[in-house]
């Protein structure tokens, strides 16, 4: 078995919603504020002005402003005029990123697809149409359907998301109104999961913006996925884990498979537990093994006959026999001797003997 690759289209939904969204930014001027609060356990205006601005009197206004900004961003919290780090503040120090909140109307692209670590993967500001446009302009005949946001969107509030669009910055939704205007996603995304390589990539476009992003693959092993694929096609009873191959009868194998001992197995819309349905796929290079000793003997003889493409000298015939029976060593199959094959070929001859018949009979008669 080589690679298992599963793909599907991601169902993208889109809303315009009033709320507060914080986007990651490098606010270098706030990092010393947070460091001082961590060093001291808490800081205040005088302490900050004296130790970081080097002037406890004249710089108090600047110190107060920086502390208030850090509090506004949720990085510090004030108790008795002293400012201590919040959890967001600790995270900002660790990542050197500050989430700067903004209030307004936002276009949100999201999906409930379980392949995605977070459901929201793009947020952009949206300008409401003017009153003139709604009454007299291009917006007057457009219906604007509103609906209550689904629970899975509301559950994403407070969760840091990494946008899928190229160049997108991490964001955090702090608040959303209960209802939003339904909008067209204007784009399509495809997820490609390389199960064997534990890699997942999302490609496509969102509102004209390109998407080509590697994200964390599902935490399910290739063996577990493979067993579910086999079960979906009723093939699990044929799978032998000790040799990692499908057990098949001789008649069930096509001529190419009898020689290569591998098969491409097709799976129709496989459903992987917890990850839903994927597109039709084929897994190439699935190893085949004989189901029984009888199948092994017939298969080995077929492979031996298929190798007679030249004069069957004793040396060549011995090598051909070894190659023919090699995949079936567990059954110790017997194969016809050169004389037996030559006799059978002579009896089955026509007015024009086949090349393989001539190669066998001639070699036997001339004792090559």
DSSP 272-306: ETTTEE---EEEEEEEEEESSHHHHHHHHHHHHHH
Would you state the pLDDT for residue 226?
97
- In the chain, where the domains are located: 10-25+99-189, 27-96, 222-291, 294-365
CA distance linking residue 262 with residue 285, whole number of Å = 5
pLDDT reading at 56 higher than 60: no
Contacts of 117 (CB under 8 A, 6+ apart): 215, 216
Which contiguous run of DSSP H or E holds residue 95?
helix 87-95
The strands making up 245-248's β-sheet, listed across from edge to edge, are: 239-240, 245-248, 281-290, 262-267
pLDDT at 141: 58
Task: Provide the pLDDT for residue 361.
Answer: 77
Q: Tell me, what's the pLDDT at 360?
A: 75
Q: Choose between 237 and 135: higher pLDDT.
A: 237
User: What is the pLDDT, as a whole number, of residue 310?
Assistant: 82
What kind of fold does domain 27-96 have according to CATH?
Answer: Arc Repressor Mutant, subunit A (1.10.10)
Residue 2 has pLDDT above 50, yes or no: yes
Average pLDDT score over the chain:
89
Contact 85, 76 (CB under 8 A): yes
The token pair that represents 77 in the structure block: 């919290």
Q: At what angle do helices 60-72 and 31-40 cross, to 10 degrees?
A: 90
Q: Summarize pLDDT for 220-241 with one digit per residue, the tens.
A: 999 999 999 999 999 999 999 9
**Predicted pLDDT at 1:** 58
Instruction: Categorise residue 8: left if φ over 0, alpha if ψ from -120 to 50, beta otherwise.
Output: beta
Q: 3-class SS at 46?
A: helix
Question: What pLDDT does residue 358 have?
Answer: 74
Q: What is the pLDDT of residues 99-115, one digit of tens each?
A: 999 999 999 999 999 99
Instruction: Work out the burial of residue 61: count CB atoms within 10 Å of its CB; fewer than 13 is exposed, 13-18 middle, 19 or more buried.
Output: exposed
What is d(CA 59, CA 66) in angstroms, rounded to the nearest whole number? 11
pLDDT of the residue at 11:
96
Comparing 117-126, 133-142, 163-172, which segment has the lowest mean pLDDT? 133-142
What's the CA gap between 46 and 104, in Å, rounded?
35
Stretch 137-165: mean pLDDT, rounded? 84
- Residue 69 pLDDT greater than 70, yes or no: yes
Dihedral (Cα; 271, 275, 281, 282), 10-degree rounding: -90
In whole angstroms, what separates CA 44 from the centre of its chain? 48
The pTM score is 0.82
Q: How confident is the model at residue 362 (pLDDT cuts 50, 70, 90)?
A: confident
CA–CA separation, 137 and 108 (whole Å): 25
Rg (CA), the chain: 35
Query: In this predicted structure, what is the pLDDT of residue 57?
Result: 56
- Confidence at residue 345, expressed as pLDDT on a 0 to 100 scale: 77
Strands 187-194 and 199-206: antiparallel
Write down the pLDDT at residue 132.
45
Q: Taking a C-beta distance cutoff of 8 angstroms, is the pair 65, 76 a contact? A: no
Q: Is the pLDDT of residue 138 over 80?
A: no
Q: At what angle do helices 293-306 and 314-325 cross, to 10 degrees?
A: 140
pLDDT band at 140 (very low <50, low <70, confident <90, very high): low
* Digit-coded pLDDT (tens) for 6-40: 999 999 999 999 999 999 988 888 898 899 899 98
State pLDDT tens for residues 162-215: 899 888 889 999 999 999 999 999 999 999 999 999 999 999 999 989 999 999
- Is the pLDDT reported for residue 351 higher than 70? no
């Amino acid at each position: 078995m080589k690679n298992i690759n599963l793909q599907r289209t991601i169902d993208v939904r889109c809303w315009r919603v009033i709320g507060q969204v914080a986007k990651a930014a490098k606010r270098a001027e706030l990092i010393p504020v947070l460091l001082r609060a961590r060093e001291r356990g808490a800081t205040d205006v005088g302490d900050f002005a004296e130790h970081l601005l080097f002037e406890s009197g004249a710089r108090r206004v600047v110190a107060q402003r920086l502390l208030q900004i850090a509090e506004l961003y949720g990085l510090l919290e004030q108790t008795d005029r002293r400012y201590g780090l919040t959890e967001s503040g600790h995270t900002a120090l660790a990542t050197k990123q500050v989430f700067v909140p903004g209030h307004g109307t936002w276009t949100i692209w999201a999906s409930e697809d379980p392949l995605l670590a977070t459901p929201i993967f793009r947020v952009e500001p949206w300008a409401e149409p003017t009153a003139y446009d709604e009454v007299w302009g291009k917006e007057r005949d457009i219906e604007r359907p509103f609906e209550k946001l689904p629970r899975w969107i509301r559950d994403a509030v407070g969760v840091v998301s990494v946008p899928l669009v190229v160049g997108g910055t991490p964001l955090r939704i702090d608040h959303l109104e209960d209802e939003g205007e339904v909008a067209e996603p204007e784009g399509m995304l495809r997820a490609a999961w390389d199960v064997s390589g534990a890699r997942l990539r999302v490609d496509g476009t969102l509102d004209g913006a390109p998407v080509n992003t590697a994200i964390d693959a599902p935490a399910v092993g290739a063996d577990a996925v493979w067993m579910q694929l086999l079960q979906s096609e009723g093939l699990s009873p044929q799978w032998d884990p000790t040799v990692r191959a499908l057990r098949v009868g001789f008649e069930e194998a096509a001529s190419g498979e009898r020689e290569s001992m591998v098969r491409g197995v097709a799976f129709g819309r496989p459903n992987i537990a917890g990850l839903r349905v994927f597109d039709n796929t084929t897994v190439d290079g699935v190893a085949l093994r004989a189901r029984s000793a009888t199948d092994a003997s017939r298969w080995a003889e077929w492979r031996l006959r298929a190798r007679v493409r030249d004069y069957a000298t004793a040396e060549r015939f011995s090598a051909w026999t070894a190659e023919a029976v090699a995949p079936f060593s567990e059954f110790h199959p017997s194969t016809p001797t050169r004389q037996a094959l030559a006799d059978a070929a002579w009896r089955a001859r026509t007015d024009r003997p086949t090349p393989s018949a001539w190669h066998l009979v001639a070699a036997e008669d001339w004792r090559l």
